[in-house]
Amino acid sequence: MTYERNYNLLNNKFKELFIPTLLASIAGNFAVLADALLISMFMGPLNLFVIQSVGPLVTFVNVIYWLIGFGGSILCTHARAEFDSEKGNYLFTVSLISVILIGLAISLLGFLFPDFFMQLLCASNQIKPLISQYFNLYIIGIPFFLILLF
């Protein structure tokens, strides 16, 4: 008697988790597109340039969240699937604290070395004051943004 593997459960779980993750990613990209469209229409192309100049920092913060937030949630779910709720709670707590500490570290670095970030984000001296204003507001919100995403 031979046994064949049945991948139906695995395929169903993959589809169940993949589709919401894909839709969340698409929704995030559409939000950025809608934000850029509304800003350029109502505030002008100069302000769109300012917001898009801070885009690399926004992407970096999102990558931190995706790596630690989603990675931690996957590890937590895996531990819970093995009925080890203590390990799952520990991994969730470590992920949450790590995201908060990294967000605070990025904010602190942004406040301590704003000129360094301005050199990375903007080459034009005429637009640096506008980018600096938006950068400072974004830096303040990074820890809250990461907690909200978690």
Residue 107 confidence (pLDDT)? 93
Q: Could you tell me which residue, 60 or 14, shows the higher pLDDT?
A: 60
As a whole number of angstroms, the distance between CA 32 and CA 27 comes to 9
Residue 6 confidence (pLDDT)? 66
Report the pLDDT averaged over residues 109-133. 88
Please identify which residue in the block is written with the tokens 């839709």.
Answer: 23
Q: Quick check: 28 pLDDT over 80? A: no
As a whole number of angstroms, the distance between CA 140 and CA 64 comes to 17
Residue 59 confidence (pLDDT)? 85
Which tokens in the block code for residue 4? 């064949």
φ/ψ of residue 54, rounded to 5 = -85, 0
Could you tell me the pTM of the whole model? 0.71
- 98-118 pLDDT, tens digit each: 988 998 999 999 999 998 988
Nearest to 53 by CA among 133, 140, 109, 107: 133
- The residue type of 24 is A
* Domain spans, the chain: 54-150
- 36-79 pLDDT, tens digit each: 788 888 888 888 888 888 888 888 888 888 888 888 888 888 88
